[in-house]
Amino acid sequence: MQTIKENFSTIIQEDLPLAKHSSFKIGGCADLAAFPRTKEELASLVALAKQENIKTLVVGNATNMLFDDAGFRGLIVFTTALKRVIWGEDFVEAEAGASLTAIAGEAVRRGLSGLEFAYGIPATVGGAVYMNAGAYEAEISRILTESTYFDGEHIRTRPLADHAYGYRKSVYQTSGDIILSARFSLQKGNAEELQKLCEDRMKARKEKQPLEFPSAGSVFKRPEGHFAGALIEKCGLKGYRIGGAEVSEKHAGFIVNRGGATSHDVLSLIEHIRAEVMKTFGVYLETEIIHVSERP
């Protein structure tokens, strides 16, 4: 790791407490963490880490991640400093670390429609493209035109058709490529109407979701023909707690950190929820949040 530290000393931190960089406020320390400032710097860093055989994970702002208590034995690269955004008359192109909600809000102010569904989703552009983030029956795949990525050797561009999109799925989840930026197609709209829609949806989020506690958003994907939160609630699990981890009393689809929760608490609670839902309804719940273990 010494070569990495010497070549990228201005963006590298050692023994970074991951709990401070996670919306769940859970996790041990990463041996190394980096915050590259340009796409080229990120690509060079990842290439050197690969050459040095250092385990590397690239993340955004970790709003859908559960970092393990044991930390991470390797390098975690955060894209959050990559925020450059380019606006056109009918498109926006943004780097991977740009806030999805911030871009959606600016699109609305410009009278551009297409991203309003994303307003309030606490993701970066890279994370949204990776997960095919969505809400209100809309998804990233409906507006994406292309993404730029690093394949370990070269920076390339991938058209929409090659993303293998599905419900919370994309080619990036299996390819190992690193998303650097994305371009979205937008349409002219009424700024006032779009703003009102975003405000109403944000109000609804605050009323229905436990935003007052640390969490990683919806824990489970939507099982076909059901809603995970409704199944969990019908099992009487609202408020059920293991250690500091609790099934939200406001929305059963969320697990919140009520204070001092560990990754073990959360994982144990996930397994308990799965078992109860399977026993009661015969439905298996697949997690949407990503557990980052010591050895991924």
Give the distance from CA 103 to its chain's centroid: 15
Angle formed by the axes of helices 100-109 and 191-208, nearest 10° = 150
Residue 288 appears among annotated catalytic residues: yes
Contacts of 187-195 with C-beta under 8 Å, sequence gap 24+, read 187/90, 187/112, 187/113, 187/114, 188/90, 188/111, 188/112, 188/113, 189/111, 189/112, 189/113, 190/111, 191/108, 191/109, 191/110, 191/111, 194/108, 194/111, 194/113, 194/116, 195/108, 195/109
Residue 139 appears among annotated catalytic residues: no
Residue 109 appears among annotated catalytic residues: no
Instruction: Give residues with Cβ within 8 angstroms of 232, minimum separation 6.
Output: 238, 247, 252, 253, 273, 276, 277
Catalytic residue among 141, 218, 248, 263: 218
CA neighbours closer than 13 Å in the CB half-sphere of residue 273: 32
- Work out the number of other CB atoms within 10 angstroms of the CB of residue 176: 9
Distances 147 to 73, 108, 158, 178 between C-alpha atoms, Å: 29, 22, 5, 10
Are the beta carbons of 110 and 11 closer than 8 angstroms?
A: no
DSSP state of 284: P
Catalytic residue among 41, 106, 233, 288: 288
Place of tokens 């293998």: 164
**b/e 50-71 (16+ beta carbons within 10 angstroms → b):** eeeebbbbbbbbbbbbbbbbeb
Catalytic residue among 113, 116, 141, 168: 168
Place of tokens 């991938």: 158
Please list the active-site residues: 168, 218, 288
